[in-house]
Amino acid sequence: MSFKTTVQLAKHKHELSNEKRFVKISEREYRSDLPEAAWKNLLQNNNLQTWKGMILAKGVPEITLYPMLMYELQPQTIIEIGAFNGGSAIWFADIAKALEIESYVYSTDIDLSLLDEKAKDHPRVQFLEGDSNYIESILPPELLSTLPHPWFITEDAHVNSAGILEYFHNNGLQSGDYIIIEDTNPLMWKRGIKDEKVIGAYDEDYPDQETLGERLMAELESWLKKHEEEYLIDSYYLDMYGYNVSKNWNSVLKKV
């Protein structure tokens, strides 16, 4: 191995085992190093991103960071709440396959008529329809008890997020598993940042859209304060490009 490679990999390994990597919510600030004007550039066409022709509304940093997290975690089960067109569930399954991880994806949505035809027949993805307010009827405890760990869960429907944290906490989350509450970055919900038509299309789902990031963070923070010793924030996958340069400010959680 070349000297340059050795130096870079050593740095990567060092950061992964950095003792300051996992932190409590009370140690984090609700801000980002990336200024608003830069976020506007990154977010305004976020919904034009595609994977195999299907919408993939993950953040630009997450498109690099999620595969790295997955490689480190080796999740046997991936659960995504908020399937939309199905593009992100297919992306998770394809990334897992490329990383040679034996993983199965469950992706839920209140409205599976939104699914792209191309998403429907993936051998490693199952879509489940249901309202996140009744998560127990979509992913019942009996099913969860059969799903192999580690788990990688992303909550991307922005409904009942504290209830969802509580539900998975009480029904199977184990030490080492990850759960992410997506889109706590408040800037992505502000008028004038995202495309107006895209904002308008979500008005019905999220009547409080303008302040949704703050609400998600407030719910997460108050839940985490009751579980501060059990769930820590993984700063490695949040701060790689600067503090909270992510759509998920302070919301990549590991059960310790």
Ligand X SMILES: C[S@@+](CC[C@H](N)C(=O)[O-])C[C@H]1O[C@@H](n2cnc3c(N)ncnc32)[C@H](O)[C@@H]1O
Binding site for ligand X (CB under 6 A): 55-58, 80, 82, 84, 87-88, 109-111, 114, 131-133, 156-157, 159, 205
CB 22 → ligand X: shortest distance, Å? 25
Q: How far is the CB of 181 from ligand X (least distance, A)?
A: 12
Q: Round to whole Å and give the CA distance between 82 and 79.
A: 10
- Least CB distance from residue 84 to ligand X, whole Å? 4
133 or 170: whose CB is closer to ligand X? 133
Q: Give whichever of 158 and 255 is closer to ligand X, judged by the CB atom.
A: 158
Of 132 and 244, the one with the shorter C-beta distance to ligand X is 132
> What is the smallest separation between the CB atom of 7 and ligand X, expressed in angstroms?
35
Which C-beta is closer to ligand X: that of 133 or that of 175?
133
Q: What is the dihedral of CA 85, 86, 90, 95, to 10 degrees?
A: 80
Which residues, 6 or more positions from 51, have their beta carbon under 8 angstroms from its beta carbon? Answer: 87, 88, 90, 91, 94
In the chain, the amino acid numbered 229 is E
**SS3 at position 73:** helix
Q: Is 242 left (phi over 0), alpha (psi -120 to 50) or beta?
A: left
